[in-house]
Homo-oligomer: A and B are copies of this chain.
Amino acid sequence: MKSLSEAVRRGELHTADCPSRDELKHASSLWGVLCLLALRGETLRFSELRRRATGVSEKMLAQTLKRLEKDGLVERVAHPVVPPHVEYSLTSLGQGLTEHVAALADWIEFNLPEIMAARRATGDLTEPVQ
């Protein structure tokens, strides 16, 4: 099987038979990434998750969790008690993905000084951030 990067090279990422791209888009959404990282190694409730992925709105969090659950990356367990209690955790599939996401996130964190330096050197002369 060819790799995704191979597929990119051949321009095969738009066809309907390549759902990798959808999944790539899902996995690379900011909130998706933040949820995965937050759930790494622990089980969290909705509100805890909301605190972890600071800045997420309830709507986006709910939507993101739904998609992650739908993709089999996150498991949702609702306890039918009077104050609702719902717990989210990574499935084994989600754990596998999260390892890669965490590696990427940590790379960014580690190399941030260099990135910031580059940004200062090349960029904002021409244009403000955007």
| Residue contact B5 to A106, C-beta cutoff 8 Å | yes
Is A77 an interface residue when CB atoms closer than 8 A count as contact?
Answer: no
Q: List 7 A-B contacts (CB under 8 A).
A: A1-B110, A3-B105, A4-B109, A9-B42, A11-B52, A20-B112, A23-B108
Chain A interface (Cβ < 8 Å from any Cβ of B): 1, 3-5, 7-9, 11-14, 19-25, 27-30, 33-34, 37-38, 40, 42, 51-55, 66-67, 69-73, 91, 93, 96-97, 100-112, 114-119, 121-124, 126-127, 129-130
| Residue contact B70 to A123, C-beta cutoff 8 Å | yes
Please report the C-alpha to C-alpha distance between residue A51 and residue B115 in the assembled complex, in whole angstroms.
Answer: 27
Taking CB atoms, residues of chain B closer than 8 Å to A19 are: 112, 116
